[in-house]
Amino acid sequence: MKADVIVSEAATRIEGPLLFLHRVLDVGLNEAVEVIGDDGRARQGRIAALDEEHMTVEVMESTDGLALDNTRVRFLGEPLHFGVGPGLLGRVFDGVGHVTDGGPPVAAERYLRIDGLAINPAARAMPADFIETGITTIDVMNSLVRGQKLPIFSGGGLPHDRMAIQIARHARLRDEGADAHSFAIVFVGIGVPHDTAESFRAAMESSGALEHTALFLNLASDSSTQRLLTPRFALTAAEYLAFIEQRHVLVIMTDMTNYCESLREVSASHGEIPSRKGYPGYLYSDLAVLYERAGCIRGNAGSLTQLPILSMPADDISHPIPDLTGYITEGQIVMDRELDRQGIYPPVKVLPSLSRLMKDGTGEGYTHPDHPALANQLYAAYARAVQVRVMASVVGVDGLPESDRRYLSFAERFEQKLVQQQDARSLEKSMELGWEILRPLPAAELHRLSDAQIARYIHEETDA
């Protein structure tokens, strides 16, 4: 490890969290540094850009008090690392891995690069098996599979923070033989206000979920450069828990839009040429570096599952952030403002939502043999009901045939009974509700169900 110190004459400019220097040493991109001012305090940073003559350091703390004539930089000769160990769970960290819960630092068993180590594609195993979130529209309709990355597309003012807490408190494995200690959660708040961060902490502590959770909280008042590192520190902790301690880890990150806004801000400070809506041209690859840290590895019992949450600016699903996220991940859960205005929680819009890996974690041997058929039938019936609503808006309800009026009633039951929920539900309870709301529909139109399934679930109460 090097410990070279650049004297103050090398510093040329300080702009926000960025320190610009003449390049007088042979250093590498992303190398860790310590920036030392007149007060003698060492501020963490890393080299974010360099050429033959100049280099730029991203300082992870406030640059207040730094001056060009008294600033020194110590180069550490290696990338940023995070000290991880068995004591990660039950602890609260800031955005760059410092303990903030008043307890002692985590006893580091090893130091891992925060950029992660790339998983050999040949060593990746196909994500499989089911994680129960307690949210019916996810568990039944768009199931989350171990090793998957399934984002939630929300919007400003929608209750995605409440939904994130609910999932973190109630998510579980369904394996009867699974060790309860084999499941862990890494909860990441990115650029959240102080009161929201405290609500996250209080909710996890009061429910007891903090015992199997590592909580990373980056505040809105923290520097934008620190915000870029928060998911990297959190995912490093998750990789340790998943691939070294061999746990099944669920990473919940909210709000990825704050991360992307910071990326745009820092990119503009670097003087880089902007791309769509001012975001840097490498936004896709930067997000991919984070999302692709999810997965399963052959021969390793652990898995890393991601549930990133992002708020779509102006509810625009074609905005670069949700658009690029959709290309990288395996589906999306879409939240709807109209459902929220009707008082429905969680306001999940089922038709545009999708889990591409649902088939690999549901059905025989995973959840219930009839789970996939129920999900397909509910989706098909609700899709038709939405079409009937459009027709009713033109011709009126009285102008519809009786069969179509049944679908209008189905849509009401679907939203008020299945989508609407205040407390977590087990998969069994969610499936029971699904069969219940299907029963008033004509059996002859339940084309996604077999005769045996119709006889077992649809006609059982009628016969009784």
Looking up residue 176, the CATH number of its domain turns out to be: 3.40.50.12240
Between the two ends of the chain, the Cα-to-Cα distance in Å is 77
The CA distance from 188 to 255, in Å, is: 9
Residue-wise pLDDT for 351-410, tens only, equals 999 999 999 999 998 999 999 999 999 999 999 999 999 998 888 888 888 888 999 999
**Residue 176 and residue 66 in one domain:** no
For residue 393, the domain's CATH number is: 1.10.1140
Q: Are residues 413 and 286 in the same domain?
A: no
Whether 266 and 338 map to the same domain: the answer is yes
In a domain, 366, yes or no: no
Question: pLDDT for 6-25, tens place per residue?
Answer: 555 677 888 888 888 888 77
Percentage of the chain exceeding pLDDT 70: 96
Instruction: Output the pLDDT for position 377.
Output: 97
Domain boundary among 26, 60, 79: 79
* d(C-alpha 144, C-alpha 173), whole Å: 11
Residue 62's domain comprises 4-79
Q: How far apart are the C-alpha atoms of 280 and 182, rounded to whole Å?
A: 39
| pLDDT at 177 (0 to 100) | 52
Give the separation between CA 434 and CA 418, rounded to whole angstroms. Answer: 7
Average pLDDT over residues 397-424: 91
The structure tokens 């042979």 sit at: 26
Residue 438 CB contacts under 8 Å (≥ 6 apart), including other chains: 374, 377, 378, 381, 410, 446, 457, 458
Q: Is the pLDDT of residue 1 over 60?
A: no
Instruction: Check residue 178 and give its pLDDT.
Output: 55
Please check whether residues 348 and 375 belong to one and the same domain: no
Residues 6+ apart with CB under 8 A from 300: 242, 243, 246
Domain ends where: 79, 113, 141?
A: 79
Residues 224 and 355 in one domain: yes
For 333-345, what is the mean pLDDT?
Answer: 96
Q: What is the pLDDT of residues 58-108, one digit of tens each?
A: 888 877 778 777 888 888 888 999 999 999 999 999 999 999 999 999 999
Mean pLDDT, all residues of the chain: 90
Encode pLDDT of 281-334 as tens digits. Answer: 999 999 999 999 999 999 999 999 999 999 999 999 999 999 999 999 999 999
Q: Given a cut of 70, is residue 112 above it in pLDDT?
A: yes
pLDDT at 462: 46
pLDDT tens profile 50-61: 888 888 888 888
Average pLDDT over residues 180-201: 91
DSSP annotation string for 379-445: HHHHHHHHHHHHHHHHH-GGGS-HHHHHHHHHHHHIIIIII--SS---HHHHHHHHHHHHTTS-GGG
CATH of the domain at 12: 2.40.10.170
pLDDT tens, position by position, 118-175:
788 899 999 989 999 999 999 999 999 999 999 999 999 999 999 999 999 999 998 7
Helix, strand, coil content of the chain in percent (nearest 5)? 40, 25, 35
| Same domain, yes or no: 62 and 91 | no
Q: What's the confidence (pLDDT) of residue 385? A: 94
Average the pLDDT over 27-54 and give the result.
Answer: 85
Q: Which of 360, 384, 403 is the last residue of a domain?
A: 360
- Asked which of 16-20, 187-191, 341-345, 415-419 is least confident by mean pLDDT, the reply is 16-20
